[in-house]
């Protein structure tokens, strides 16, 4: 075998058999450790001494891990976000980082709309009451009554904005980049400051990368700007939200509720107050769920890996 490849992406592991013969024919020996959500630094330090390439998820490829991987040539990310990979350390040691831009914008956008509809139409809340034998009509709203604020109008943010507008919502946006005129005309989006967006939106949906400027983007000061009848939606990265500040805002009824697909610690600890709140909708980092889009990412992640390995010969 020419190369030894670690496969730690949890979505990739269960279907790896479909690609195993193809990879072996190309000279790849696979190493597949048990993974629940991700591998931490200590796990990787015990695995990386003779690894040439990795198909990774959100594993903690820190500088220490990169510097302890003498043969490493490529990290091929199954997905889009690469905040768990130390890009500076990789660049210094000539390790190529590959990813799948715009991989899951459609399933994420549909998940956002699903949460919004659950809140506006009170679907889950009435369902819970009915299952307890309580016949109660809860007032709802329609989407054309509501304003959606999108913080981070990149690929997934644009997908959310265009779908929300098609369903009648008013859309506000905030991004450091200027929006294409065609997109503005399509969505009638109004680009505003974060402060104005938080003050006006019924729903605030986060679609930012995780970096030094977005860490705890939603903190006590920004929750204080939101309306008491507004909802927060985070399907981006957990640390974008200060969860302690979010819990405070919910308890003090400074906002009406939240929907979270991602968390500061994944899985969240069982003692987390978020798990006990009826006005918080939770999911296990699964907004990317789609057989169609997963298949595309499987293929592209392997192709990215092999392109770098074969070029290194």
pLDDT in tens, 1-56: 799 999 999 999 999 999 999 999 999 999 999 998 899 999 999 999 999 999 99
Q: How many Cβ atoms from other residues are within 10 Å of residue 220's Cβ? A: 14
Burial class (CB in 10 A: 0-12, 13-18, 19+), 127: exposed
Average pLDDT for 204-216: 95
Structure token pair of residue 141: 């709203």
Residue 9: per-residue pLDDT = 97
Residue 280's pLDDT band (boundaries 50, 70, 90)?
Answer: very high
Distance between CA atoms of residues 174 and 153, nearest Å: 7
The position carrying tokens 């770098």 is 308
pLDDT at 313 over 90: no
Set 163, 237, 254, 298: catalytic member: 237
User: Each residue of 229-274: pLDDT tens digit?
Assistant: 999 999 999 999 999 999 999 999 999 999 999 999 999 999 999 9
Residue 61: per-residue pLDDT = 98
Q: For residue 269, give the DSSP letter.
A: P
For the question of residue 266 being annotated catalytic, the response is: yes
Q: What sign has the CA pseudo-torsion 217, 221, 226, 230?
A: positive
For the question of residue 237 being annotated catalytic, the response is: yes
Structure token pair of residue 79: 């997905």
Average pLDDT for 143-164: 98
Distance between CA atoms of residues 61 and 199, nearest Å: 38
For the question of residue 285 being annotated catalytic, the response is: yes
Does the structural domain 105-282 have CATH classification 3.40.50.300?
no
Of 236, 233, 167, nearest in space to 208 by CA: 236
Distance between CA atoms of residues 228 and 308, nearest Å: 51
Residue 277: per-residue pLDDT = 97
What's the whole-number average pLDDT of the chain? Answer: 96
DSSP string covering 111-156: HHHHHHHHHHHTHHHHHHHHHTT---PPP---GGG-EEEEES-SHH
Q: Which CATH class is domain 3-103+292-311?
A: alpha beta
Residue 56: per-residue pLDDT = 98
Of 57, 63, 62, nearest in space to 81 by CA: 57
Set 22, 221, 266, 310: catalytic member: 266
User: Could you tell me the pTM of the whole model?
Assistant: 0.91
> Which ranges in the chain belong to alpha helices (H)?
17-25, 41-45, 63-67, 87-92, 105-121, 123-131, 155-166, 181-187, 194-200, 220-223, 243-251, 291-311
Distance between CA atoms of residues 162 and 156, nearest Å: 10
Residue 117's pLDDT band (boundaries 50, 70, 90)?
Answer: very high
Domain parsing of the chain, residue ranges: 3-103+292-311, 105-282
Same fold, 3-103+292-311 and 105-282: yes
Residue 63: per-residue pLDDT = 98
Residue 15: per-residue pLDDT = 95
């Amino acid at each position: 075998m020419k190369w030894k490849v670690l496969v730690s992406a949890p979505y990739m592991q269960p279907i790896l058999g479909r690609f195993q013969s193809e990879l072996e024919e190309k000279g790849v020996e696979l190493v597949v450790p048990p993974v629940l959500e991700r591998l931490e630094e200590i796990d990787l330090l015990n695995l990386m001494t003779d690894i040439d390439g990795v198909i990774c998820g959100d594993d903690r490829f820190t500088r220490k891990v990169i510097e302890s991987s003498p043969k490493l040539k490529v990290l091929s990310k199954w997905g889009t976000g690469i905040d768990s990979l130390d890009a500076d350390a990789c660049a210094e040691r000539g390790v190529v980082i590959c990813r799948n831009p715009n991989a899951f914008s459609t399933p994420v956008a549909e998940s956002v709309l699903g949460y919004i509809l659950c809140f506006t139409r009170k679907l889950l809340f009435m369902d819970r009451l009915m299952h307890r034998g309580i016949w109660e009509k809860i007032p709802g709203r329609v989407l054309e009554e509501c304003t959606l604020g999108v913080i981070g109008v990149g690929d997934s943010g644009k997908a959310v904005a265009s779908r929300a507008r098609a369903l009648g919502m008013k859309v506000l946006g905030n991004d450091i980049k200027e929006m294409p005129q065609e997109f503005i005309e399509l969505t009638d989006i109004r680009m505003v400051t974060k402060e104005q967006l938080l003050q006006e939106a019924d729903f605030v949906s986060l679609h930012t990368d995780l970096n030094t400027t977005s860490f705890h983007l939603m903190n006590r000061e920004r929750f204080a700007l939101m309306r008491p009848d507004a909802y927060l939606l985070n399907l981006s990265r957990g640390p974008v939200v200060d969860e302690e500040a979010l819990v405070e805002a919910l308890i003090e009824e400074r906002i009406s509720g939240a929907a979270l697909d991602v968390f500061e610690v994944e899985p969240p600890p069982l003692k987390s107050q978020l798990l006990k709140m009826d006005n918080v909708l939770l999911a296990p980092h699964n907004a990317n769920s789609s057989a169609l889009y997963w298949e595309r990412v499987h293929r592209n992640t392997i192709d990215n890996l092999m392109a770098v390995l074969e070029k290194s010969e």
